[in-house]
Chains A and B, each alone.
Chain A
């Protein structure tokens, strides 16, 4: 037995000699970069807090542009009417809702027609963004007052449905949202504020998304914020805080935000159209669009801004089963890889400013490659330990720098949230969050590493992406 393992041991010793220090350095770097983003985010939160202490409420004031909320819907008969009613009742000085029925085979359209008493218009959709699928008709409510447009089209996928929606939209801003998200009543006001603050430069803003699992929802509104019971969504609550809330706030503060989630983004309609809309063939279509907009603006030498709004505005159901979570993470990573590859020409090019010189290299190094190196670490370190190729202190050091430091970063994000927004008012939620920040590193993190690599691998082998169905358990409408 010992003789058999000896050659393997030789390989492992050699591997550790060559890679141990670089791998450790990588983990220190990646966690430190998160920490830097968090500190940048903290600066942004500080001005937010100061703003709140000084109570100048400018939401919805002059210069707030009109918004068209685009809702692509495919077989959503169960929730579509509730969603549309909730969107219509958002507080905003002048918004319309554009529902695009993307060739539903269920009663989606029938439900809408009945609920809003729709009438067909003899209207053609402008081809501002070229669209392949045929539009079947446009409908508006008979009362002539409710600002709803329903467009029916042949099925051609979510991205193209959104593009049709933008074509049919009439307001200067377009909002891309998930139909089944729950929005705060003043979500649009908050996310549109950067446009009113800086009307000539802001081209896009992203809103914060938080998991709705565990919150109490009544009539499409969040009544109280809570932690979900199962551990998987619980961990995602903490994960969202770190990655989306604080991470993106940091990027926004730095001036290099390149990712606006498709679940809540607001764009200038003219820039959206000029960029060519969402790419129907892209898997990371939200990421791809924002990069394309950056490219367009930089090449035109335009003075422009892409901003992130850290206040919670949109609450969405996160996966609570392994199957759905796996699909989601595979898709995310595949979209990340394909988009980064597509825009590799922007890397290190000074003409693309912070995007080309900092943000994109960062995404390559720390978002794309991270799961690969992490997998290497979690495989090689235990093996090396068993084979006696490294000593216990080294394994401990690896654990401390890769995982302990990660916990520290998560805790920093949680502290910032508690400081600035404190949406979780219960002490128990805070306790659960603390436990999750540690627990995340045992199992959950390794699984996502594997899934992300699966997504990347699938793309490299040229496998066709299957979107997978997001099975929803429905909002917890009462109690808990």
Chain B
């Protein structure tokens, strides 16, 4: 079994894009709806490449290209993409046009760019990667589903490099709709955000890698005892003693409906652990856990955890193992264990 490494990561989000400024100069928001900070795409794309691409596609393509550059992997073996909501902007244009008055006369471009896999196929076309290509769309654990597929392939050597993306956009209409369902809302210290993250993963160690991915697990259910057993099996399989874990990064977002389950279950699942958070910086979105994974990877790489990520006491010393726990709507759970490369 090969070890799995994160070689490089690039994000476009509510924090300053394509850099790690959030470590020391985090942007904090009072708004309930925050769009990602887009770089000037004209600097990166020729007009004829960009003209047909919606925002989410521009972000996906740019983060992918950047991560290929920083990792010096020119042709990954596989492209795996996660998106919970897909290309909302184009879907909306299409839905608006689907009224009887409009005569159902619709734009092929919008349709083509409304399917979830258009992100992964665009990346494949632009990078000429003819290898494995798949797209995961399972609510708030879409990223972890994609990571699991990548992990299995890297672990057994089916692929040596995987370009993994997590992309979700949030239009103003969709923000309103998701507030109605209770997923997003107007709570202080919480906001609906957007995610664009590309990771380059590899099964070969390399000195500049950010960290190791030790394991990933997803599960479904509402019984805390069953989830605890899943966690125990997960750690045992790696293997990792829970005492070695420096901190647990949670998907809390300052909203009662979301955070209650963490408050109830964390004492059972992670007794005596110190906790970290990331959604106060990156916001809530289906693939937000990808940004949590990214933040933890950067902390392990830089061997420090900034105070603004800590809920309560900061972990002591240099972090070596960070466990991520994400729970979406009390039913979909995921665990990811990241470890620093140096040992």
Q: Do A and B bind each other?
A: no
Residues of A within 8 A of B (CB): none
Residues of B within 8 A of A (CB): none
